[in-house]
Structure 1
Amino acid sequence: MPQFDPATFGSQLFWFGVIFTLLYFVVIRPTLPKVGKVIDARETQVASDLDRAEAAKGSADALRAEHEAAMKAARDAAQATVAQAREAAAKAADLQLKAVTAGLDADAETAAASLALAMTSARAGLESTVAELTSEAVARLAGIAVTPADVSAALAQN
């Protein structure tokens, strides 16, 4: 193999240096700044994206805090409305209970008066019936003729 021949090492090293220098100045030297610019632009883009993401996260956190505050306010308002509704319902029920109680009291008084009238009427009817039955019983048992008015007068004395 000719590349391992020590007599050609000098010329091989010379051509290696020439080709390396040529490639360096023709290919690498013009493209290296372009690659550096692309890397710098990419770093700038990434940093900008990170900043925008951080700003979006901050605004999302602010929106979430606003939403939670609005939900808390709505919950408090709903609880206040429910408490007011309960209070109004309790007042309405109390008023209705008072009205029903007053109506029942009036009905009870009317019923008591009607009952008293019925009892008075029943007593009067009972007294006349007792007087008639007693006069008949005395007439049959003792053979004495007694009028129902006499029996009523005798009962009234006792």
Structure 2
Amino acid sequence: MSTKSTAHKKVRPSISPLLGSLMQAAKAGSSNPLLLRSLVALDALHRGKGTTALLTLLAQQLLISEELCLSGYQSARLGAVQDAHAALVRLDREVALNGDWKAAGAQYEALRKAFVVYDAQLRSAPRTRVHDAQLTTTGRLLDHLVRREQATNVEGGVCRDGNAS
């Protein structure tokens, strides 16, 4: 009886170039957790594996980036960040129509460019300024939600105390 020795090569899972570069950056110690989360979410959208949570995460990070632009960090690139936000809005609308969670073409490029800006901001802005931008963004979102709820209550004829007007 002869036994054949079969040598099996280890099969490495395929990863996207974006995740590969992230892994290299992480090994070099130059990665920022905020940016990493955003880039992983962007990669998932690019692969067609997006979710509402990932879209929300990207939108939040773009709002923080916009706030940093307004504070003077990469202010000349504010347009790129706003273009990316518009691309996310279009993507959200398309998901509602056809259920396709994929950022491709111009949408993906707009998002990619904005996160290059965000990377530069996170590298140059002090942590306290990034934290302030996060707090300002959260405040703006809460104000928006309160205004929307008040408008809904007025349209529905409900006063603040819950009684009909």
Same fold (TM over 0.5): no
Q: Which has the higher helix share?
A: 1
Q: Highest Rg: 1 or 2? A: 1
Q: TM-score, with normalisation over the residues of structure 2?
A: 0.20
Q: TM-score, with normalisation over the residues of structure 1?
A: 0.21
